[in-house]
Structure 1
């Protein structure tokens, strides 16, 4: 039974779901990093919020860990590169608090437009400064979205209800999607020049850090009001204060800061500035939603292999997993075979799917090929870290699909390019379930790839099968399966046979000494 640790406070429904799905769960919160390192090794999964820091040291101690699930969007507290290198899947729940965060952005926009915090403080102080708080209407104003993903599109929908015009800057926003959500796609400079309100909904990356820099803030429309419920670091806070002080920026509302908890900020006390303590996801509905989602996603992965909302692995739904499982087994075996039989630096590896295989989600299949291939070089590889390791080794990975059927209803071909040329192997599924090799380096040969095997390339000549059978018999080796193939009569032939125990160096030497043997190797699957 898989075992999960919930290390941050989370709605009790998360633990209920784990137990219902057949996953053992411990709820132990508030531990120090040292205490977490001491205990994390016994768990297959780690469910967290924002308090637990999944560092390289924690991952090193997590010897059984397979998945980290973040109940929420941000994963700043997870060392994703280290997790990927260790083969640990990192998931988040990007949709559980989307509505809540979008609503908070709209609430802050209203607060800025009508100066609600200042008006509230003034009124409760016994003043009646009706003429001091002259707000602006949202109707007919232009809202600029920096980031038009899930949350940004919800904000756009709410803004349309307020009769606002919405423009959006997002390099990943397609023209079709822009039309669908009712926004005008623009470049950043255009947005800065036109927007009366700007709200940010983008992750913090090297490309988005300080996207509202001093230079870009200077390009904004005079009197612009800026809202950030996404991530601290998207705005230059010192430059923002200067803009507020000068009056160029009409108002700003931040729910997130460069340093959190924000005990001090250059913006605190600045007129026309509103702040909240990272409340974007803080509603009772959102807390329940993200807890349920992270538990469901982690349980699906640990029990059935489904991968949802992973940040370092292709998604694979629980419904897809059963159909893809035999293909992934075939892909891993083919990758392992070509890895064991290929020597020298690999410049390129190509994965070609034909027929029914071409209709499937290719990313898990590609990852399985790479995992099988690289496992011949290192033991610490799986589908999560295989693409990372391939990239580190400078391998070019190509993916090709051919939907038409060839000789087989479904086929996977794995080809590698080395200094010595290109070599390929191909396989299919018998009965849509059983992986079977059907071609080896251009030679037709049908074989199961399992257990301990002996690979022999020899001259096609009478008597060879008898001689190799005698050699194995004299060595006390029992043959499980025997598979033959050849290019032409009397030419190069291939023999793949499975045996009941590991192939010894002595046996290899004896087979190599037989007349007509060109190559002999031990294989393991």
Structure 2
């Protein structure tokens, strides 16, 4: 009989699921790290929430552990890299609290519009200050939605039902999906300029950190109200404070903060700020849903080998794994290459075509497709993995297509990923060489033979004399060391590509100098 340890508080219904499936389950909540390390080696599965820290030290002594299941979406408390190296599958439950989080955002918007917390405190103090709390209606107002994925789309649906006009900014939102949701797709500056309320539903990545900045607030209409139930760090809290004091921002409702637990924060001094302690997922229904889901997922994996919502393992059988492994790495790298170029060119993805030619055409494409999508969406979305990438693509209205042919061309085996945005279609292709090493062989129809490297610099330019010398001198003067140098061109004197691997990331100041060179059209850092 397989054994599972529940080390954080879960619904009793989760325990019953384990028992009904024939899984031996122990519940030991509130253990110290030392106590967990002492007993974790006895168990095949570990079910947690956010309190238990599954560190490398824990994993090193978890000799029998096969799966860690997190009841919730965030896995910051799990060392996924160490788990992967030890062959431990890490699962989460990404959709169990979406409705709850969306409803909390709507509730915060109502509380902000009608000043409910301050009015409650005043009334309980016996003041009856009816004229002090003059609110605003939501009906007819413009809601600016930053992020229109799983949670954001639910907020949009509720807001449309409230007769609000919704402007949605999301790099992956297609026009067709916007029409389906009843929202208007808009760029960020338009959202800032027109919205009466702005609510955030985007991951915290480098591209979204301080997306509500001092400069962004200056673009907003006077009297705007801001709601953040997504991630701390999306809002520049110092800039928000100043805007609230000046009156440019009429109010803010925050469930998340740059530093948590947020026991001290200047924003708490202001009456026009509504605050809650990261309650987005805190309803009995959400807690029940994620607990039931994690119990089902762990049981299925341990008893049948079925993998659901895994962060570090695709759905691959034991027989397929050795043959697929090098192709999955190739697909990940090609997807990451295409995703970073798409992000750099600020395009909205409408369609993705994944083509397989030659030997790869006869393999299982589902994990290869998922790996390609995870690599492609990863540069702009948080928590993307091989399991949820197809769902994220579908939720954002992205058409995903596959084509295969066992005929061989220049290469015995080839994978090509084509990404269509409103600006056109761009493709990258790669193959395997030697003992299964991935190699890039085509970018936007231009032949380029290049190995992938951790840090690369991608430059497009006109094929004219003088470029290579000026480019190399610019990098040399900046102390950027070139490891490899690859060139390709469409035809003599036309568009050309330069792909350089470097010893580290090229600083933005150097990129600006490269972009300023004659003949250069684009210069972008790539990381793998």
Instruction: Name the TM-score, length of structure 1 as normaliser.
Output: 0.63
Deviation at 1:97, TM superposition (A): 1.3
Which of the numbers 322, 332, 350 marks the counterpart of 1:332? 322
Counting only pairs closer than 5 Å after superposition, residues 200-239 of structure 1 correspond to structure 2 as 200-239=200-239
State the Cα deviation string for residues 56-113 of structure 1 (Å, max 9, x = none): 3323333333322211122222233333343332222122111111111111100000
Q: Whole-Å Cα distance in 1 between the matches of residues 8 and 172 of structure 2?
A: 33
Mapped contact 1:331–1:365 kept (Cα < 8 A) = no
- The secondary structure found in structure 2 opposite 1:289 is helix
Counting only pairs closer than 5 Å after superposition, residues 50-65 of structure 1 correspond to structure 2 as 50-65=50-65
Query: Structure 1 residues 68, 264: CA separation in 2 closer, same or farther (over 3 Å shift)?
Result: same
Give the match for residue 285 of structure 1.
Answer: 285
Deviation at 1:297, TM superposition (A): 1.5
Q: Whole-Å Cα distance in 1 between the matches of residues 93 and 301 of structure 2?
A: 14
Give the match for residue 16 of structure 2.
Answer: 16
Deviation at 1:401, TM superposition (A): 7.1
Q: Whole-Å Cα distance in 1 between the matches of residues 206 and 196 of structure 2?
A: 27
Mapped contact 2:357–2:404 kept (Cα < 8 A) = no
Give the match for residue 175 of structure 2.
Answer: 175
- The secondary structure found in structure 1 opposite 2:205 is coil
Counting only pairs closer than 5 Å after superposition, residues 235-250 of structure 1 correspond to structure 2 as 235-250=235-250
Mapped contact 2:7–2:47 kept (Cα < 8 A) = yes
Give the match for residue 45 of structure 2.
Answer: 45
| Unpaired stretches in structure 1, ≥5 consecutive residues | 317-323, 337-348, 367-383, 386-399, 407-411, 423-525
- The secondary structure found in structure 1 opposite 2:227 is strand
Query: Structure 1 residues 168, 313: CA separation in 2 closer, same or farther (over 3 Å shift)?
Result: farther
- The secondary structure found in structure 2 opposite 1:4 is strand
Mapped contact 1:359–1:403 kept (Cα < 8 A) = no
Deviation at 1:3, TM superposition (A): 2.2
Matched, 1:29 2:45: no
Give the match for residue 104 of structure 1.
Answer: 104
Give the match for residue 124 of structure 2.
Answer: 124
Q: Whole-Å Cα distance in 2 between the matches of residues 420 and 62 of structure 1?
A: 32
Mapped contact 1:80–1:312 kept (Cα < 8 A) = yes
Query: Structure 1 residues 183, 19: CA separation in 2 closer, same or farther (over 3 Å shift)?
Result: same
Query: Structure 1 residues 128, 227: CA separation in 2 closer, same or farther (over 3 Å shift)?
Result: same
Q: Whole-Å Cα distance in 2 between the matches of residues 305 and 100 of structure 1?
A: 31
Counting only pairs closer than 5 Å after superposition, residues 401-420 of structure 1 correspond to structure 2 as 403=404, 416-418=432-434
State the Cα deviation string for residues 227-268 of structure 1 (Å, max 9, x = none): 111122221222221111111111111112222222211211
Deviation at 1:9, TM superposition (A): 0.5
Q: Whole-Å Cα distance in 1 between the matches of residues 192 and 289 of structure 2?
A: 35
Query: Structure 1 residues 250, 334: CA separation in 2 closer, same or farther (over 3 Å shift)?
Result: closer
State the Cα deviation string for residues 328-369 of structure 1 (Å, max 9, x = none): 514526879xxxxxxxxxxxx9984446x5675545899xxx
CA RMSD of aligned residues (A): 3.4
Query: Structure 1 residues 352, 191: CA separation in 2 closer, same or farther (over 3 Å shift)?
Result: farther
State the Cα deviation string for residues 461-491 of structure 1 (Å, max 9, x = none): xxxxxxxxxxxxxxxxxxxxxxxxxxxxxxx
Mapped contact 2:358–2:405 kept (Cα < 8 A) = no
- The secondary structure found in structure 1 opposite 2:267 is coil
Counting only pairs closer than 5 Å after superposition, residues 471-490 of structure 1 correspond to structure 2 as none
Deviation at 1:19, TM superposition (A): 2.1
Deviation at 1:115, TM superposition (A): 0.7
Query: Structure 1 residues 270, 402: CA separation in 2 closer, same or farther (over 3 Å shift)?
Result: closer
Q: Whole-Å Cα distance in 1 between the matches of residues 282 and 245 of structure 2?
A: 30
Query: Structure 1 residues 298, 405: CA separation in 2 closer, same or farther (over 3 Å shift)?
Result: same
Counting only pairs closer than 5 Å after superposition, residues 76-475 of structure 1 correspond to structure 2 as 76-314=76-314, 316=315, 325=317, 328-332=318-322, 352-354=359-361, 357=363, 360-362=366-368, 403=404, 416-418=432-434
Mapped contact 1:227–1:253 kept (Cα < 8 A) = yes
Deviation at 1:30, TM superposition (A): 0.5
Deviation at 1:287, TM superposition (A): 1.2
Aligned residues: 366
Q: Whole-Å Cα distance in 2 between the matches of residues 141 and 277 of structure 1?
A: 27
| Unpaired stretches in structure 2, ≥5 consecutive residues | 327-355, 373-384, 387-400, 408-412, 416-430, 439-528
Mapped contact 1:169–1:186 kept (Cα < 8 A) = yes
Query: Which has the higher Rg, Structure 1 or Structure 2?
Result: 1
Mapped contact 1:350–1:416 kept (Cα < 8 A) = no
